[in-house]
């Protein structure tokens, strides 16, 4: 048997593989920071043989509370991911027991979104008559940082910014963007057409391409957590935030969405801007209307479970959506999707996955339309 991970978003450390019933693995840290949780690797030559894989340092993961009720994802064909029911967290170790049906199988923390697919998404969007692609610059390691611009920046149209994957291991965020863009650039879709009449959308499908390719959980190639860089982004260490923030200053912003995944909570929820200094009653009313609009179109979304205000303390204005709410005084939200499943609508076969993230991305157009079509 052999385990390998030298590919796009691959990540694992192999301690020993001699005994298929006791394969010892370790979660690898981000390349320049001490965060670990993402894994993605190939197991070869195990077809028909029961294997037991032990992730020895699961308790040292960034979010150990992400392991209870978690199930590992796997695929044979690099398309159809399924959950491995024999996953459990015991004595600080994550244990995956499985009998692969084929000789080659891939295991991952969540359904990956490859860099190749990212590049295809950008080119597909550029082919649309409704979109252009602007290059804002490059990441730490020289990868393109692109923004898809939908609609023409004509006076009176509201600038909307949507960014995803500041945390590269949260691949559901880019699946969400794919679903949003597919509906937004569909010429037969009336909601998209109305949005394009009222707004210009600036969409960054992947804020952290280096981290994504490297298989990092949380940081860019320089070890920076991009969602703690918004107050004072460093042009060298966090150019990804520096460049997007600079572009936002030029366009202005009247609605901001930052798309994420949450390791622990098995729900889809929004983190709001209520606690941001300067948050007005008008912002509160607009925010409430946006949330009602999403509730009306997506049964996957809920407002009962989420973060408690005060969670970020002093760091608050270093976070993208809080900084934007403060700087531009607009509705500014962080969307969180589960790594596990939506406990209100569980799916035993897939858990939360790319397809469900895509549907949610499409549904998001309805509250966006209500927001940009409103007076003022
Ligand atoms: Zn995140």
Q: How far is the CA of 166 from the centre of ligand 1 (A)?
A: 7
Residue 336 is among the residues annotated as catalytic for this protein: yes
Q: How far is the CA of 51 from the centre of ligand 1 (A)?
A: 32
Q: For residue range 271-314, what is the model confidence (pLDDT) as tens digits?
A: 999 999 999 999 999 999 999 999 999 999 999 999 987 777 87
142-146's contacts with Cβ under 8 Å and 24+ in sequence apart are 143/209, 143/210, 143/213, 144/209, 145/204, 145/207, 145/209, 145/239, 145/240, 145/243, 145/244, 146/122, 146/204, 146/205
- pTM of the full predicted structure? 0.98
What is the structure's pLDDT at 310? 77
> Where does the pLDDT of residue 129 fall: very low under 50, low under 70, confident under 90, or very high at 90 and above?
very high
Pick the CATH number of 115-372 from 3.90.550.10, 3.60.20.40, 3.40.50.11540, 3.40.630.10: 3.40.630.10
Q: Which residues surround ligand 1, an ion (CB under 5 A)?
A: 167, 170, 260
Q: How far is the CA of 167 from the centre of ligand 1 (A)?
A: 5
Domains 2-108 and 115-372 share a fold: no
Which 8-state DSSP code applies to residue 142? S
Which 8-state DSSP code applies to residue 219? -
What is the structure's pLDDT at 317? 94
Domain ranges of the chain: 2-108, 115-372
Q: How far is the CA of 34 from the centre of ligand 1 (A)?
A: 16
3-class SS of residue 54: strand
Q: For residue range 183-240, what is the model confidence (pLDDT) as tens digits?
A: 999 999 999 999 999 999 999 999 999 999 999 999 999 999 999 999 999 999 999 9
Q: How far is the CA of 303 from the centre of ligand 1 (A)?
A: 18
Q: How far is the CA of 260 from the centre of ligand 1 (A)?
A: 4
Kindly provide the residue ranges of all beta strands, DSSP E only, lying in the chain, ordered along the sequence.
Answer: 2-4, 13-16, 23-26, 40-44, 51-55, 73-75, 82-83, 87-90, 93-98, 104-108, 131-138, 144-150, 158-164, 199-204, 255-262, 269-271, 331-338
CATH architecture group of domain 2-108: Sandwich (2.60)
Q: Point out the catalytic residue in the list 170, 282, 336, 375.
A: 336
């Amino acid at each position: 048997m052999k385990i390998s991970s030298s590919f796009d978003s691959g990540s694992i450390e192999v301690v020993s593989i001699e005994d298929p019933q006791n394969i010892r693995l370790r979660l690898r840290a981000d390349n320049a920071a001490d965060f670990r949780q993402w894994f993605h690797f190939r197991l070869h030559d195990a077809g028909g043989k029961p294997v037991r894989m032990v992730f020895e340092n699961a308790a040292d993961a960034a979010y150990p509370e992400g392991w209870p009720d978690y199930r590992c994802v796997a695929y044979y064909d690099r398309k159809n991911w399924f959950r491995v029911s024999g996953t459990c967290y015991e004595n600080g170790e994550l244990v995956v027991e499985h009998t692969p049906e084929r000789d080659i199988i891939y295991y991952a923390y969540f359904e990956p979104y490859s860099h190749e697919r990212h590049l295809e998404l950008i080119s597909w969007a550029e082919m649309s008559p409704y979109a252009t692609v602007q290059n804002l610059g490059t990441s730490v390691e020289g990868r393109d940082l692109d923004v898809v611009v939908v609609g023409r920046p004509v006076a009176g149209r509201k600038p909307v910014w949507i960014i995803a994957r500041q945390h590269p291991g949260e691949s559901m965020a880019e699946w969400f963007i794919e679903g949003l863009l597919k509906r937004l650039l569909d010429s037969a879709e009336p909601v998209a057409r109305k949005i394009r009449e009222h707004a210009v959308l600036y969409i960054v499908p992947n804020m952290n391409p280096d981290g994504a390719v490297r298989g990092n959980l949380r940081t860019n190639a320089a070890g920076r957590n991009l969602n703690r860089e918004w107050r004072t982004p460093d042009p060298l260490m966090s150019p990804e935030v520096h460049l997007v923030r600079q572009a936002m200053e030029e366009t202005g912003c009247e609605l901001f969405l930052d798309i994420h995944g949450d390791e622990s909570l098995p729900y889809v929820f929004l983190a709001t801007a209520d606690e941001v200094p300067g948050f007005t009653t008008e912002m509160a009313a607009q925010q409430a209307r946006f949330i009602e609009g999403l509730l009306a179109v997506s049964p996957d979304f809920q407002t009962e479970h989420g973060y408690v205000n005060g969670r970020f303390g002093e760091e608050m204005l270093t976070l993208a959506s809080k900084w934007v709410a403060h700087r531009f005084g607009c509705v500014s939200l962080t969307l969180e999707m589960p790594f596990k499943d939506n406990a209100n609508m569980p799916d035993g076969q897939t858990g939360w996955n790319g397809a469900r993230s895509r549907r949610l991305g499409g549904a998001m157009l309805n509250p966006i339309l209500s927001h940009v079509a409103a007076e003022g």
